[in-house]
Amino acid sequence: WDGRRFVGIRYGLAYTVLGAAYDRIGFGCLHDPLLRDFCIMRLFEPASKIHSLELMGRYFNIHHGERTLYRRLPLFLSYKTKAENAAISFAHHELKDNLSVILYDVTTLYFESFDADALRKPGFSKDSKSQQPQIVVGLLVSQDGFPLQQETFPGNTFEGKTMLPIVRAFREAYRTTRCTVVADAAMLSLQNMAALHAESWTYIVGGRIANLSPKIINRIVEALKDKRNGATIRIKTAHGDLICAYSARRERKDRADMERGLAKAKALIERGELGRRAKFVKKEVTEGAYTLNVALQNKTERLLGIKGYYTNIPAGEMGDAEVIDRYANLWRVEQSFRMSKSDLVARPIFHYKEDSVKAHMVMCFIALAMGKYVEHLSGHSLRHIIDLLSQVPDARLAHTQTRKEIILRSPVHADLLYLLKALGVSH
């Protein structure tokens, strides 16, 4: 070893790769090394802010003090608009997306607490934590799932009231005159649809056809009674054109869901456990007894395999099949939320002040954009890429007399080579 001794390892390649993604997207315009390092750390190994400082030193030989963290953390929130503008510009110019179609959805993030405040409030929870305070997070992404904008709302905010502020902010940032927003059925309201239409937006929104009048349901069922895959019907409504389509695959899923619901309802009725929610249970008005809701069961059976979509795009401009295909891309927003909750551990459990919570979400938005870009370049999941990067440590050797350090890098996995080339990173 010629007077050299082993002094530790670091993950220099991981730091370089993730930092290159941050810079390529354009987040360097924020001119904040601390934010950059926190976003890299959020991808490599998510942790609390204090623990992240320790991990930065251990993994990357990067050091920031706690006082610097507390002083600069509130500034992260002030970067929100510039970060979103950078993401929008990158999606348009580098990812070659004209952003004529954008996808919107919301999720909830709960806190390990029962103390509510102006932002953290109990509400409908997607994590089944309705008794605990939460925030509602709205996310706007491109057709390929690249994040464009996000917003944080109080935990008791109705989902349908979150969409308009974000799409309006997107229009102002992107300066577009015509765009189609795709969202799920929770965003459907006459107010939302009228506002979008008045502002020259086109929309594709999921529809809950079980809530329609018996007359319209009969019309839909009659039109699709042959149960031919891909068969559709288009009906004029106050929400726009209602397109209903039949799918055999969806019918199998719907039938399995219905049978589980019926089994649960029957078991609850038999055991008398009627305080719990069950779809197919109803209370008789005259006797006060709980029974199986046969009418709902019959309606559900008639609509098996049928899904509805509302749009204000004329049939001559976009056919039924294309409308349905556009809506199907909503899984990309759900995938982004899953990445945020699992890979990035976005839940802000260590923050209590409103500005700190929102600053944390800005950091998670930037990290999400970095992660989606890395996935786009590599063709692999973020988790797989991080796993590969963690297998390329650098051995740090120091000369016992001169103390000069030499780095010996481990072999690079073949799956990383294309990513490195695309980012302009040498190994």
pLDDT number for residue 88: 96
235 pLDDT more than 70: yes
Amino acid making up residue 323: V
d(CA 153, CA 134): 9
pLDDT number for residue 291: 87
Amino acid making up residue 55: L
pLDDT number for residue 111: 86
Q: Give residue-wise pLDDT tens across range 305-336.
A: 999 999 999 999 999 999 999 999 999 998 99
pTM: 0.90
The H helix count followed by the E strand count for the chain is 16, 13
Q: Contact, 365 vs 359, CB < 8 A?
A: no
Q: Give residue-wise pLDDT tens across range 201-220.
A: 999 999 999 999 999 999 99
Q: Contact, 141 vs 102, CB < 8 A?
A: yes
pLDDT number for residue 278: 77
Q: How confident is the model at residue 268 (pLDDT cuts 50, 70, 90)?
A: confident
179 pLDDT more than 70: yes
pLDDT number for residue 50: 95
191 pLDDT more than 70: yes
d(CA 295, CA 305): 18
pLDDT number for residue 343: 83
230 pLDDT more than 80: yes
1 pLDDT more than 60: no
pLDDT number for residue 122: 86
232 pLDDT more than 80: yes
3-state SS, residue 205: strand
422 pLDDT more than 60: yes
Q: Give residue-wise pLDDT tens across range 16-63.
A: 999 999 999 999 999 999 999 999 999 999 999 999 999 999 999 999
The mean pLDDT value for 109-114 works out to: 81
In sequence order, the β-bridge partners of residue 290 are 283
pLDDT number for residue 288: 65
pLDDT number for residue 277: 67
Least confident of 44-48, 97-101, 175-179, 266-270: 175-179
pLDDT number for residue 124: 84
3-state SS, residue 44: helix
Q: Give residue-wise pLDDT tens across range 81-104.
A: 999 999 999 999 999 999 999 999
55-77 burial: b if 16+ Cβ within 10 Å, else e = bbeebbebebeeeeeeebbeebb
Residues 6+ away with beta carbon under 8 Å from 153: 135, 136, 137, 138, 162
390 pLDDT more than 90: yes
Least confident of 150-154, 257-261, 268-272: 268-272
Mean pLDDT comparison of 8-12, 121-125, 258-262, highest-scoring range: 258-262
pLDDT number for residue 169: 92
Q: In the chain, pLDDT over 70 holds for what percent of residues?
A: 97
pLDDT number for residue 258: 95
**Cα-based distances in Å from 378 to 17, 77, 304:** 12, 30, 39
Packing angle of the helix pair 382-390, 354-378 (nearest 10 deg): 80
